[in-house]
Every structure is written in C-alpha cells, then in structure tokens.
Amino acid sequence: MSKILGIDLGTTNSAMAIIEAGQPKIIENKEGIRTTPSIAAIAKNGELLVGVLAKRQSVTNAQNTIFSIKRLIGRKFTDSEVQRDKKWLPYELRESANGGVEVKMGEKWYRPEEISAMILQKLKTDAEEKLGEKIDEAIITVPAYFDDSQRQATKNAGEIAGFKVKRILNEPTAAALAYGLNKKTNERIIVYDFGGGTFDISILEVSEDTIEVIATGGDTHLGGDDFDQRIIAYLVDEFKKLEGIDLSKDLLALQRLKEAAEKAKHELSTVLETDINLPFITSDANGPKHFEMKLSRAKLEELVKDYIDHSIELVKQTLAEKNLKISDINEIIMVGGQTRMPAIQEAVKKFFGKEPHKGINPDEVVAMGAAVEGGVLQGEVRDVLLLDVTPLSLGIETLGGVFTKIIEKNTTIPVSKSQIFSTAADNQTSVEIHVLQGEREMAADNKTLGRFILDGIPPAFRGIPQIEVTFDIDANGILKVTAKDKASGKEQSIRIEASTGLSKEDIERMKKEAELHLEEDRKKRELIEIKNQAENTIYLAEKTSREAGDKITPEERKEIEDKISDLKEVSKGEDASQIKNKMEDLSLAISKIGAKMYQSNQNNNSNDTQPNSSSEKSDDNNSQDAEFKE
C-alpha cells in the first residue's frame, strides 16, 4: 500500500514526513534539506522555481516571488489581516471575482491555493524521488485558528497538487500526536509554537477519542526572525561604539554578521558564552579592523526579553479568554525552532510550574505528527503483528557476584543470545549457572529466576574451558537457559516460565531502584572487577615465579613474593586506586622476569619461537573477561 505523506505547510518553511517501520521519519527534499522554504517564483525565462531556489533569486525578482502565501489562503480580500499584509508584501494583490485574494506572479494572477499547490507539488515530487514510489495521499496541517474557508482552500491546494487529501489536521493536534499524547484522556494540553515568523498558542482538550481545540491565541507577526534582527542590530551598534564604523552599510560585513548572529543564537542554547570572531570585517585609514566580541546567553536574553515576556502575556490572555487557570493545563508542548532557546523554555516552565515536552525536533514535530496520523489511518486496514519486549534485563552471576547481562531490557522477543564464559579456578570441573533478572549491577540485588549446575568439565587451567551460555525467549515469553561445555559437548538447561510474569509495578520499582543506585552500583562493580583483575595478576605471578625455577635470582623471587603479598593485602580492602597501583607494580615485576626468561630461552634454543608459557593465552580472546565463580 502506498504511504501517506504528512505535510507541515508552514508560513515560512514546510516539512514532510512518512511512517517507516512504525516510526515517523522526516523526508529531505531534493536539495538534501529537511525543511523547504514556502516560496514560489516565476523566473524571467518563465521557469517555475519553488523552495530554496525561489528564495535565492527573490532579491532579483521580488515582484514575482511569492512568500507567506499562508497569510492569504482562504481569506477575503477585505479581511483586516489581508489589508495589513498587503502593505508590506512586495508582490501585487487584488480582489478576485468571488471576493477572495489573487496574487500576481509573472504575467498571470493566481489564487493563493494555486501557489500553495506549487509548494505541495514540489514536496510530492521530492518525496516520490526520495522514496522511489508514488505517493498519492497526504495529510496537511493548518493552524488551529484556520476557519472553514481557509481549511477548504488548503485542501484544494493539496488536490491541485495531485494529492488525495486524507485529512486537514490542526498543527497543535499533530504536535500532540507526535508526542503520543492522544492516548491520555481528560487532559488539557497547551501548545506553545514559536516559529520563524509567527507565534501560535493553542489549548487542546483530549477526551476518549477526540482531540478538540478549545482556545487559540498568539501573534501572527512575531517569530525567531525578529530575534535574529535584534542580535544583528546589537552587534552593529557595539562595533559602531567601539570603532565608529557603521557595518550596516557594508553588504559583505552584514552577511558575515548575519551568519555569525544565527550561529551565536544556536550556540547559546547549549553554552553560556560564545565568541564572535570576524577577522578583517572592515578597514579604515589605520588599516584592517577585526570584529571580536563575546556574547553571553544573559546578554542575548536581555536583548529579546520583551519578546519572551510578550509571548507569556499572550498565553495568559488565551487562558483568561476561556476562564482557564494555570492548574487546568496538564501538559505543555513546545513547537518551532525558537523554543530551543533556554530562556523561553524557562519562562514557560516558570509560568506553568511544569516541565514542557521536548525531545522531538521542534521544527519537525508537526510534520512528524501528521505522519503519525497517516499511520493511524493506515493502521485501521493493516494487520499489525504485535511483539512483546523483555521489560527487564536477563543474565547470570559471574565472578565476584557481578550480574552479567545476556539479554538487555526492551529487546523484542522472540530472541536468542549467547556468550562464552570460562572457569575461575584451575581444574574447576563444574560451574553454577545462576539466572537473574533486573537492572542492578550486583547479582544479589536482582531477582533470581533459577539455577543449575553444569558438571563434567574436563580439568584445565582457569580461563581455558569455553562454556557457551544461551538465553532463548520464545514468543510466549518462556525463557530457556542452556550452558554447554564446548570441549566435552556436555550441556545442561533450565526452562523458566515466569520470566515476564512480573507485575507492572514490580518492573517499575526494579527500574527505579536501578536508577537510584546507579552510581553506587557502578562503583561496587568497578571495585569487584579490579579485584578480579588483581586476583588474576596474582595467579599469573605465582605461576610465572613457579615456572621460572632457577632462571631468576632469589632476590627477584623475593621481590615478586613481596609484591604478591602487598597486592593480596590491599585486595582485602575497598580502595580501588590502591589495588590498581599495587597491581601495576606486580605486573611490571612479572613482565621484567618474563622478558628475562624469554631472553634466556632464546639463548638456549634460538630456533624455538614458542611464546613464553607465562604469557597470556591468545586463543581466549573471544571469551569473556568475566568468569564463573566456583
């Protein structure tokens, strides 16, 4: 079945998304950009340009370049909004036969829906090219305050573009869908949408099966672009104060400042201060001048404070119109690129006393939500196979009481995973497999699901036997754990039926506990791992010293023995760094002896290229560091 394209047809920029493998995904346009300027133009040669190409030529062709068409679509020519916009829009407007608006592009007059259709047509073509399939159906979003005529005109635009418009969706509703808030019931959601050129507030009410818009507000001529202008003006002013030169008259300098201002604005969302360095910005009789300035987040916030305050004021008004109190609002969603600014997030959070939803790219959340709606529509006809996930991690206990995960939480089942382990002592002939479930680092803090013993392992040095442990969960959630000794082929297994039988509360509690003890658990585990390493080093040292026989002097033997007992002593304690130090000391001493023995071996029989017997086995590279306790 062909996909439904979700389209956020914006005033300045548009975006599109589809559902892929159950998740919404933004589709880039032909130019490889995730948003497309909502601009159409007719070049002098009669060619139609849409998107970024239309934008690039707009200066040379201002009268035939149509932007902000969304401000006009579905409106009457006599609307006060239209009359207001007519004053600053550089292209020609006139009243159509039926009282609507027409704009002039090239030699012809067009209805706004025809211009919107050109933008939609480009999105359609680009999406089809990207996806390699035809797309006939679309969901197009509109502001919540759009009236029937504006909605109808937008739908017409989609149909002129060749789409079957499945639905005209409210932008705030789309945002709520993208965050999955449609599943909540009896909640009020406020959507705070600060875009490039418009600021919209919508209040939604979610009930059993509908999302209803109960109030709207905002300012159709306030946006992130105003912020950029403020910063540029400030930078120009500062330079004027410092050097007495007006950069606003210098096209090159102004371009560089514009880019720098945008970059600084973005950077200040994550850092507290940024450097604006523009070498050789201009020059005078005294030679070249550089633009060097630090811009702090605090300064930026001061520059645009009135805009932010104004937006909060508008939120208050919108609430007041419906007699809503702050406490009536359950969720807040932030939409539009400008809401990345920490000061805006802070102001909204402070006003509502609640953390707003963020996480989805605010420039893309509306298009994503439109795609989600498309997915919902298609979901009604498509048979979806629902697969479970393991709510908690599953694994076994290894040396030192550590919990080693084999299957991580949130893995989709059915699934099968295995890992190779080994023994912890020489001539160990059996291992105990202790199967656990949970998120804590130490075995003792997790839930035991079962245990069994695999015996009959042929005697060998520690670390040599390869024991493969396999966890298999079938579609019904039944866990089967198998341990197999690769050398003898002996195997043993256990079936655990209730691996997913925990209650929701139990699972939540276990996850919470893990989070709570995260740091302390990590430290504990690190300490045990270092102790395990220390033990391994001691084992190696003793073995080396034994095998070295008379090839080392009594002093050297004494040194090793002293260091071994030092390490043994500190290993009893809890100081990881001390253990590490002593361990390094001992390792150094062994490697010295190793080198000496290697040399004497070479002298004795220079043909023998066998590695020194005390060097680490190289064929157990693929076996796990963690070993079973005896």
Q: How far apart are CA 36 and CA 32, in angstroms?
A: 10
Alpha helical stretches, state H, 572-609: 576-604
Among 16, 19, 53, 101, binds another protein (CB under 8 A): 53
Name residues whose C-beta falls within 8 Å of residue 337's C-beta, 6 or more positions apart in sequence.
194, 195, 196, 224, 362, 363
Nearest 5 degrees, angle CA 155-CA 373-CA 409?
A: 160
Contact assessment for residue 394 and residue 405, using Cβ atoms and an 8 Å cutoff: yes
In whole angstroms, the minimum distance from the beta carbon of 131 to another protein comes to: 12
What is the C-alpha separation between 398 and 514, in angstroms, rounded? Answer: 19
CB neighbour class for 459 (10 Å; exposed up to 12, middle 13-18, buried from 19): exposed
E strands along 302-362, which residues? Answer: 331-335
The token duo for 415 is: 């699934």
Nearest-5° Cα angle at 29, 24 to 32: 105
Q: What is the DSSP string of 98-110?
A: TSBEEEEETTEEE
Is residue 426 annotated as part of the catalytic site, yes or no?
no
| Piece of 7-15, 253-261, 337-345, 597-605 that binds another protein (CB under 8 A) | 253-261
Burial of 328 (0-12, 13-18, 19+ CB in 10 A): middle
Angle between helices 112-131 and 148-160 (to 10 degrees): 50
Closest separation in Å from C-beta 43 to another protein: 8
Catalytic annotation present for 511: no
By CB under 8 A, name the one of 57, 152, 587, 612 that touches another protein. Answer: 57
Strand partners, 415: 473
Residue 235 C-beta: closest distance to another protein, Å: 15
Does 8 qualify as catalytic in the annotation?
Answer: yes
Active-site choice (85, 137, 171, 439): 171
Query: Smallest distance from the beta carbon of 341 to another protein, in angstroms?
Result: 21
Q: Does 384 bind another protein (CB under 8 A)?
A: no
Q: Is 241 exposed, middle or buried (0-12, 13-18, 19+ CB in 10 A)?
A: exposed
Number of residues binding to another protein, judged by CB under 8 A: 26
Q: Which of 32, 46, 132, 353 binds another protein (CB under 8 A)?
A: 32
Q: Does 279 bind another protein (CB under 8 A)?
A: yes
- For another protein, which is the closer residue by CB, 82 or 413? 413
31 binds another protein (CB under 8 A): yes
Beta carbon of residue 41, minimum distance to another protein (angstroms, whole number): 9
State which of residues 7, 19, 26, 54 lies at the interface with another protein (CB under 8 A).
54
List 113, 193, 397, 521, catalytic entry: 193
State the minimum distance, in angstroms, from the CB of residue 33 to another protein: 10
193 catalytic residue (yes or no): yes
**Site for another protein (CB under 8 A): which residue of 1, 285, 384, 385?**
385
Nearest to another protein of 43, 406 (CB atom): 43
Please report which helix (H) or strand (E) contains residue 83, including its range: helix 80-88
The residue from 252, 272, 453, 595 that contacts another protein (CB under 8 A) is: 252
- 283-312: which residues touch another protein (CB under 8 A)? 283, 288
Residue ranges in 319-358 that form contacts with another protein under rule CB under 8 A: none
**Minimum distance from CB of 128 to another protein (Å)?**
18
Query: Can residue 259 be called a binding residue for another protein (CB under 8 A)?
Result: yes
- For residue 492, the 8-state DSSP code is E
Which residues are annotated as catalytic?
A: 8, 70, 171, 193
Q: Which residues bind another protein (CB under 8 A)?
A: 21, 31-32, 43-44, 49, 53-60, 251-252, 255-256, 259-260, 278-280, 283, 288, 385
